[in-house]
Amino acid sequence: MKKIVYSIFAVGALFTAVSCEKNLDIPQKGVTAIENFYKTDADAESALTAAYARFATRITGQDGSSIYTDYKAALNNCGDDMYAAGSNFGDNDFMAQLDEFRLDTGNQVVDHFYSNLFQVNYACNLVIDNFKESNSTVAQRCVAEARVMRAYLYFILTNLWGTPPLIDHVISEGLPYNSDKDPENPMSHEDLLRWVASECEAAAANLDERKSTADKDGAVKVTKGFAWALQGKTLLFLKDYAGAKTALKKVIDSGKYALVPGAKYADLFHSEGDANEEKIFETNIEYNSALGAWGGQIQRSTWMEANIWNWRSDHFVAGASPQAKYTGGVDGWGGLGVPKWFGDEFLANDGHSPRFDATLKLVDDAVYNMEYSDPAIAALTPEQRKTSDLVGIADPQEGLYGQSFYLPFKQLLRATDADKYGNNVRINNGIIMRYAEVLLLYAEACLQSGDNAEGAKYVNMIRERAGLAALASVDMNVLKKEKSYELWLEGSRWLDILRWGDTDRVKQAGQNVPKLFDKLHRAPKAGETPIWQYGSEANSRFYMVNTHEAIDAGYTVGFQAGKHELFPFPKSVTDKNPNITQNPGW
């Protein structure tokens, strides 16, 4: 038996980090024996590249197969500011189970994401274990980057599962325990978070610092800025407000990051904004001069992302989807909906600010004012479209399922996001942390520690970028709202709801899910109670009908205290590992 390291060309990187034991009956080609690897600076860089590639494909779903169900669904679907929508009830059910709190231990999202987090953890541990004793500056930097990447994984694992096993080295035998039941080194939930913060602190000294706001390389790898940001965020979750302020202020005072102008806010989520001045860390797809069009970039794309998140074009009038020209013709499954309360509050707060218009689209703005490829529709004025049956929502049974009067716009694929390869291949990078979040985290630490004037300063920076007036005073209620608008669908809301105890709305999840209809194509039916967009049928074309199909199907829905604060450990894990104790309520 000879231990080897397979070199696998995948997703544009050399996966030299995958090790195993195997009987070698025939000579192996393209294989490097492990005793000849993990020796040089080049080996360290290669192993780290494999960890980054695994991070991109397994954490942010950029492998063209996960349908973005893992990272985005796990961190967003339980929040109160979105619906898991689709063609009809039962479509995209793996996401709706989270959204309506009717998941069980076999849920696909929970299972995949938990497994993927540990796959990336393994790749990070390979770098750390094999180079932690090196005196090389390059190897020490590689180890530091892997440590912070691993710390980020455990920030997620700890907040979603409570006390996951702490696997901080490559293990070859034995089955791990929940961290709090580990017989050798028991660690509570809080201990794990403190470990995350301490890993960031320890690694920072050996990390590169971003050179300037124009340094694109410094936005697509772990740097001092990301280590400080993650440390500060973790300490905030621990309610160590003084420690959080110190760490986050290092990012602010570094001068290496800046908010983009309001006019460029929308670009943050598309290829035009990749690695720009606001990005602290994002997974890299496009910005890599070593990757050719068909030799790495396409394999690292998010081609299934548009399927799940783009609007349900086949429920609009045939050939007249408002998104078609914007997305370059890429249609979707309509898997994301916006609750009316959220759209109403956001619009009341922002008006048609660059932030609001980049995030949501009123349905009438979408139908009447977006560009169409059909010459007959393009020739109509917005006023003419208001009464035209050439446009609108045509499906008479489902309308747009899970949609209110606000269509989700932030996540839509732009034509320029896929203009190199087409066929639904999205190439823009995946955001892990941007500067706006750091400012809001710092503002919260200030407010929570009584420094309201300092907190208001940084909340107002966010508001002013959105084109809003500065506020004379700011409290936690204002901060919560601004954060919900600024970071919508960026993985913050669910964890914030839990730590703030703001679970009132999620307790009602699944009780009423809207369908959005167009009266020119489907008049309200007898027995329905329509909710008209502008108060009455006389001045509204679009209306909602609330449904409760999950309840009708016999499901128990809604957040339950004492259970849903944590995800269940997947059945696929507990079946194989008797040392894992299931979380309460599961």
Q: What DSSP string describes 90-158?
A: TTTHHHHHHHTT---TT-HHHHHHHHHHHHHHHHHHHHHHHHTT---HHHHHHHHHHHHHHHHHHHHHH
Q: 563 with 579: CB under 8 angstroms? A: no
d(CA 239, CA 254): 24
The verdict on residue 350 lying in a domain is yes
In a domain, 218, yes or no: no
Tokens coding 423: 């066929």
**237: its two tokens:** 């979750």
252-287 pLDDT, tens digit each: 999 999 999 999 999 999 999 999 999 999 988 765
369 is a domain residue: yes
- Note whether residue 365 is domain-resident: yes
Give 142's Cβ-side CA count (13 Å radius): 31
Residue 57 lies inside a defined structural domain of this protein: no
- Show the DSSP H helices in 413-488 as ranges: 435-448, 452-465, 476-486
pLDDT of residue 84: 94
Work out the number of other CB atoms within 10 angstroms of the CB of residue 121.
26
Give the domain range for residue 387.
Answer: 305-428+513-547
Number of domains in the chain: 1
Does 249 map to a domain?
Answer: no
pLDDT in the model for residue 290? 57
Residue 339 inside a domain? The answer is: yes
pLDDT at 37: 83
pLDDT in tens, the chain (586 residues): 222 222 222 222 223 333 333 444 555 566 666 677 898 999 999 999 889 888 887 776 544 445 455 788 899 999 999 999 999 999 989 999 999 999 999 999 999 999 999 999 999 999 999 999 999 999 999 999 999 999 999 999 999 999 999 999 999 899 999 999 999 999 999 999 999 999 999 999 999 999 999 999 999 999 999 999 999 999 999 999 999 999 999 999 999 999 999 999 999 999 999 999 999 999 887 655 555 555 555 555 665 677 788 999 999 999 899 999 999 888 889 999 999 999 999 999 999 999 999 999 999 999 999 999 999 999 999 999 999 999 999 999 999 999 999 999 999 999 888 766 666 667 788 899 999 999 999 999 999 999 999 999 999 999 999 999 999 999 999 999 999 999 999 999 999 999 999 999 999 999 999 999 999 999 999 999 999 999 999 999 999 999 999 999 999 999 999 999 999 999 999 999 999 999 999 9
Pair 437, 448: CB distance under 8 Å: no
Domain presence at residue 371: yes
